[in-house]
Each structure stands twice: as structure tokens, then as C-alpha cells.
């Protein structure tokens, strides 16, 4: 399944279907999952059956109930690729700026410009 070719609603449906499959494979009732995650069972039902959009906090609660937060962390966590050549520069820059002054000074000048 290629999520990049799907619209938002199709992705929501895909996530809902797979979460429901995970819940069933773990043999957890929907009510128990809602209780473990700390959210309303009706919210879960609407998400699974009607593919309604949910808040990211509700998704986190569902994943917590399924004990899948660690897997979610692996998806969203940025890990810089390790390179021995770049071992000294392990920090990301705080900002990336355009250097307009440098561009102005390096412009080609015509013969009549000073």
C-alpha cells in the first residue's frame, strides 16, 4: 500500500482498519482498549466504523492501549544517519538562513559600476 497515492480520508481508513486488526489479534475488547487508553469507547467506534477523523492525542491513547507507542515512536523519531566522517558535527543547525549580503557582494559588475 502506497500512502503517498492516497488522499487523507483513505489514509484515515487505512489506519483505522489496521488498528482494528491489531486490536483483534491482541484479543482486546474495544471497551477494554478504550479503558486502557483513557478515551471514550464511542470515539473509537466512530473511528473504526465510520473512519471519522480523530485528534492525534486520541491516536496516542489508542496506541497506548494497544501497547504500540514504542512502534509509533520509531516512525516519528528523527535519527540522524551516523557517519564517522561527520562525527564531530553531530548537532543540527538551529536555523538555515539565506546569505543575502554575500550574494550582493559576489554579483558580477558591469564596467560602469563601482
The whole-number pLDDT of residue 81 equals 74
User: What distances in angstroms separate CA 55 from CA 12, 61, 85, one per listed residue?
Assistant: 11, 10, 42
pLDDT tens for 36-84 read 988 989 999 999 999 999 999 999 999 999 999 999 888 888 877 766 6
The whole-number pLDDT of residue 74 equals 84
Pick the CATH number of 13-76 from 3.20.20.150, 1.10.260.40, 3.30.499.10, 3.40.190.10: 1.10.260.40
| Spatial contact of 42 and 31, defined as CB atoms under 8 Å apart | no
Boundaries of every domain in the chain: 13-76
Amino acid at each position: 500500500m502506497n500512502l503517498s497515492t492516497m488522499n487523507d480520508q483513505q489514509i484515515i481508513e487505512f489506519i483505522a482498519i489496521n488498528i482494528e486488526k491489531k486490536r483483534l489479534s491482541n484479543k482486546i475488547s474495544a471497551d477494554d482498549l478504550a479503558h486502557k487508553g483513557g478515551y471514550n469507547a464511542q470515539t473509537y467506534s466512530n473511528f473504526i466504523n465510520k473512519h471519522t477523523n480523530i485528534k492525534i492525542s486520541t491516536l496516542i491513547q489508542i496506541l497506548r492501549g494497544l501497547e504500540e507507542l514504542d512502534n509509533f515512536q520509531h516512525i516519528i523519531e528523527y535519527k540522524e544517519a551516523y557517519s564517522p566522517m561527520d562525527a564531530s558535527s553531530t548537532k543540527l543547525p538551529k536555523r538555515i538562513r539565506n546569505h543575502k549580503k554575500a550574494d550582493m557582494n559576489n554579483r558580477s559588475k558591469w564596467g560602469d559600476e563601482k
